[in-house]
Amino acid sequence: MIVTDRRRDILDTLRSSESPMSILDIARRLDLHPNTVRFHLQALAENGRVERVEPTRAVPGRPPLMFRAYQGMDPAGPRNYMLLADALAARVGADCAATDRAVESGRALGSQLAETTTAPRSVSNHQATDRLVEILGDVGFSPERRSSGGKNGIALRNCPFLELIEEHAQVICPLHLGLMQGVMSTMGATVTVRRLVPFAEPDLCMAHLGPVDAAS
């Protein structure tokens, strides 16, 4: 792709230079129009790969804009968070108390997410459930509220960690349960997510709501 190649060429040029370069310097080096260089520099600066440098010497007239490659590891370089998640899930899952630890971790995360809300700590159960649905949506669960036979629940139509479920369901599903419980507890609700049924239907998991002091 031409755009990607040109940005890579500009970035490589800046990295190979011992001092910051102006737009004209880069344009001459790569035989490009200055406006083309300016356009790509702006994009590189926006994603943190290039930074502007103030001129170090006085020159007649308006000094040129100077740029250099970001001094550090590439913030837009390749990532492999799936490998990290898989390794951590495997380590937790090897513990004889994996389920309990996963729930505890989820509750801590849920509490942290709920604390970011501007709502008061103690709210109605309906408001707390609304906030839970909002948080689940932000995290990526695609939640839907459901009510049937006087029982309330939340359908989760997407799993943000779907690739990990096959091998690490004993960690991931309890983590999700704990996350939801942590949100409800932090919001001061008297109801919570009592049970999470993975793949209750082929395209969703079901979180069942109930009183906090209800028997499991």
Q: Given this model, what pLDDT does residue 117 score?
A: 60
Taking a C-beta distance cutoff of 8 angstroms, is the pair 45, 12 a contact?
Answer: no
**How far, in Å, CA of 198 to CA of 90, rounded?**
19
pLDDT at 150 over 80: no
pLDDT tens-digit readout, 160-200: 999 999 899 999 999 999 999 999 999 999 999 999 999 99
Domain of 192: which CATH number? Answer: 3.30.1380.20
Average pLDDT, the chain: 87
Q: Tell me the mean pLDDT in the region 56-81.
A: 77
pLDDT at 208 over 80: yes
Is 44 part of a structural domain of the chain?
yes
Q: 126 and 63 in one domain?
A: no
Q: Given this model, what pLDDT does residue 2 score?
A: 67
Q: 137 and 59 in one domain?
A: no
Q: Given this model, what pLDDT does residue 168 score?
A: 92
Q: 111 and 164 in one domain?
A: yes
Last residue of a domain, one of 45, 69, 93: 69
Last residue of a domain, one of 38, 69, 100: 69
Q: 103 and 59 in one domain?
A: no
> For residue 7, what are the domain limits?
2-69
Q: 89 and 61 in one domain?
A: no
Q: 21 and 48 in one domain?
A: yes
Is 184 part of a structural domain of the chain?
yes
Beta bridge partners, 22, equal 66
Residue 3: band (very low, low, confident or very high) from pLDDT cuts 50, 70, 90: low
Q: Which structure tokens are listed for 211?
A: 């009183």
Rounded to the nearest 10 degrees, the angle between the axes of helix 81-93 and helix 162-186 is: 70
How many folded domains does the chain comprise? 2
pLDDT at 215 over 60: no
Q: Given this model, what pLDDT does residue 47 score?
A: 86
